[in-house]
């Protein structure tokens, strides 16, 4: 893919999430077009709870960095385990919603494009949820290098992302093939965008990270999420 095409995708992805900010939590809370019925919703929430427990077990942590914090569904969890929290996102709309939630006066918010941003200090924990899947595969190595450079010597990473299943997405959005990394997404008003969405196989991701010098365990919570934690080898 040419650099121009990359830049266009990254820009469109940022615009998509700004447009989606006010409706984003519907996806996580299984509401409206993401409501797949009681049983599926209950299973989703159970898996969310199990990943929350894994994250909570990392605390207490001094300096925490959250990348692509969005509306703050996980900022809330990070606040419980950190002494100092910096949260970065490219969308002013996402940050405004996140800031409006309780306890956010303690968070240092930064609005920046993560493909251009560099940390000004080192962090003990770097967290990102549902972000790695939006990093174009061609930028995977650079992204992990940026994370490595932003960690303290014994620092750790924790990330969460989507497993490939039609149950996660909205009724009116069909997943493409598992290997397709560009997907079409629509907002509630029907506006359409093209964004990056990579579905990682946990074992393969763990191996790829090992090749980049990471000792990270990547696991499945069940049907919906993968999560990984660890540090530099
Ligand atoms: C799928 S959401 C995840 C939000 C949050 N981490 C969560 O789990 O709820 C992806 C987030 O990435 C942000 N984002 C998209 N492209 C970005 C970029 N180039 N730089 C920084 N943030 C970006 C969006 O604004 C959005 O908040």
Concatenated DSSP letters of 63-78: EEEEES-TTSTTHHHH
3-state secondary structure at position 183: strand
| Residue list, ligand 1 pocket, CB within 6 Å | 10, 13-14, 17, 68-70, 73-74, 89-91, 94, 113-115, 129-131, 134
pLDDT in tens, 98-131: 999 999 999 999 999 999 999 999 999 999 999 9
Give the pLDDT band (50/70/90) at residue 223: very high
* Minimum CA distance residue for ligand 1 atom 19: 113
pLDDT of residue 175: 73
Instruction: Look at residue 87 and tell me whether its pLDDT is greater than 90.
Output: yes
Return the ligand 1 atom nearest residue 28 CA: 9
Extract the tokens encoding 31: 């509401």
Looking at per-residue pLDDT, the higher value among 178 and 208 belongs to 208
The alpha carbon of 36 and the centre of ligand 1 are apart by a number of angstroms equal to: 24
Residues whose CB falls within 8 Å of the CB of residue 14, separated by 6 or more in sequence, listed in order = 90, 91, 113
Give the pLDDT band (50/70/90) at residue 173: confident
pLDDT of residue 2: 78
Q: Mean pLDDT in the chain?
A: 95
Residue whose C-alpha is closest to residue 229's, from 98, 54, 87: 54
pTM exceeds cut of 0.75: yes
The alpha carbon of 48 and the centre of ligand 1 are apart by a number of angstroms equal to: 18
Instruction: Look at residue 146 and tell me whether its pLDDT is greater than 80.
Output: yes
Pocket residue to mutate for ligand 1, from 7, 12, 15, 17, most atoms within 8 A of Cβ = 17
Give the pLDDT band (50/70/90) at residue 176: confident
Backbone angles phi, psi at 197, to 5 degrees: -145, 110
Counting the structural domains of the chain, the total is 1
The span from the CA of 187 to the CA of 21, in Å, is: 10
The tokens 């962090």 sit on which residue? 123
Extract the tokens encoding 163: 């497993």
Burial class (CB in 10 A: 0-12, 13-18, 19+), 120: exposed
* Minimum CA distance residue for ligand 1 atom 12: 68
Give the pLDDT band (50/70/90) at residue 225: very high
Which residues span the domain enclosing 122?
A: 3-232
* Minimum CA distance residue for ligand 1 atom 18: 113
CATH number for the domain including 76? 3.40.50.150
For the residues of 24-47, what is the DSSP string, one character each? HHHHHTT-GGG---HHHHHHHHHH
């Amino acid at each position: 893919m040419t650099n121009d095409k990359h830049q266009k995708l990254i820009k469109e992805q940022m615009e998509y999430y700004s447009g989606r900010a006010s409706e984003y939590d519907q996806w996580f809370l299984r509401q409206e077009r993401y409501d797949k019925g009681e049983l599926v919703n209950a299973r989703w929430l159970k898996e969310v709870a199990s990943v929350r427990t894994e994250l909570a077990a990392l605390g207490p942590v001094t300096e925490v960095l959250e990348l692509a914090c969005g509306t703050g569904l996980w900022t809330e969890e990070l606040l419980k385990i950190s002494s100092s929290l910096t949260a970065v996102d490219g969308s002013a709309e996402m940050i405004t919603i996140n800031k409006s939630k309780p306890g956010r006066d303690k968070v240092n918010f930064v609005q920046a494009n993560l493909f251009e941003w560099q940390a000004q200090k080192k962090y003990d924990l770097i967290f990102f949820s549902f972000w790695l899947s939006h990093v174009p595969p061609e930028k995977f190595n650079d992204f992990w290098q940026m994370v490595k450079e932003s960690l303290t010597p014994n620092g750790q990473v924790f990330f969460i992302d989507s497993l490939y299943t039609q149950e996660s997405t909205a009724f009116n959005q069909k997943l493409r093939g598992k290997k397709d990394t560009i997907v079409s997404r629509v907002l509630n008003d029907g506006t359409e965008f093209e964004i990056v969405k990579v579905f990682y196989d946990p074992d393969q991701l763990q191996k790829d990270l090992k090749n980049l010098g990471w000792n990270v365990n990547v696991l499945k919570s069940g049907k919906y999420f993968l999560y990984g934690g660890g540090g530099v080898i």
